[in-house]
Amino acid sequence: MTLRVHSYESFGAVDGPGIRLVVFLQGCPLRCVFCHNPDTWAVDGGTETPVEEIVRKARRMRPYLGEDGGVTFSGGEPLAQARAVLEATQALQREGFHVALDTSGAIDTPEALALLDAVDLVLLDVKSPDPARFRAVTGQDHAPAWHVFDHLRRTRKPVWIRQVVAHGLNDTPAEKAATKAFVDGLNVQRFDRLPYHELGVHKYEALGIPYRGAALSPPSPEELAL
């Protein structure tokens, strides 16, 4: 089986515990207003890569990953290639690697739920706790993500919550309170609020895609704090 890979980061330090091999996968159904990786959106982009090649890459990196590290599948949206990522996850776990999955949860197929069950840790992006705002931020309906969040509540899967925070989008006390209520019942091991930045804007120009985030700006420290 093969995966469509956008790129790799060999010494990732923020996408899960320890040092990580981060595999950025190609393809995403969302169109987040603050996305800094529009080059990962197209499902037919990237490089078709056999699962075994990713396992070999992880094996070569094992001395650097140490006891605490492992492999993280990110994107794009890894659930969009759930069957192949599940095969890669199981192959890596058979060799003792810790596997994390960075996802918005916006795909709720049986294959996606099976993948969520299999990984050791889910890095879970909260786009918005409000259905109307979720659509405004992502361009998609909230229902699949809500279903996935419920699944993760039921299974008590360890999650690290991540939320991009932008001034003018989700910086208010009311939005913070709604986010806290929304993640209630999840097995939250860590909560990171990530400040919006504009580093990916040039990619939109290069791709000829209109940038929807022009009205946003980075949050103040007070707005960023939960």
Closer residue to ligand SF4 in complex, CB, 18/200: 200
* Binding flag, residue 37, ligand SF4 (CB under 6 A): yes
Q: Which of 6, 17, 40, 161 binds ligand SF4 (CB under 6 A)?
A: 40
Minimum distance from residue 130 beta carbon to ligand SF4 (Å): 17
The SS3 call for residue 220 is coil
Residues 132/183/144/16 CA torsion (nearest 10 deg): 120
Taking the complex as a whole, the smallest distance from the CB of residue 152 to ligand SF4 amounts, in Å, to: 16
Number of residues that this document lists for the chain: 226
Binding status of residue 169 toward ligand SF4 by CB under 6 A: no
CA distance 112 to 149: 12
Q: How far is the CB of 15 from ligand SF4 (least distance, A)?
A: 13
Q: In the set 22, 23, 35, 54, which binds ligand SF4 (CB under 6 A)?
A: 35
Within a 10 A sphere around the Cβ of 42, how many other Cβ atoms? Answer: 15
CB contact at 8 A, 13 and 19: yes
Q: Does 31 bind ligand SF4 (CB under 6 A)?
A: yes
Of the candidate residues 3, 32, 121, 123, the single one contacting ligand SF4 (CB under 6 A): 32
Cis peptide before 76 (omega within 30 of 0): yes
Q: Which of 199, 134, 142, 143 lies closest to 170 in space, CA to CA?
A: 134
Q: What is the binding site for ligand SF4 (CB under 6 A)?
A: 28, 30-32, 35, 37, 40, 75-77, 104
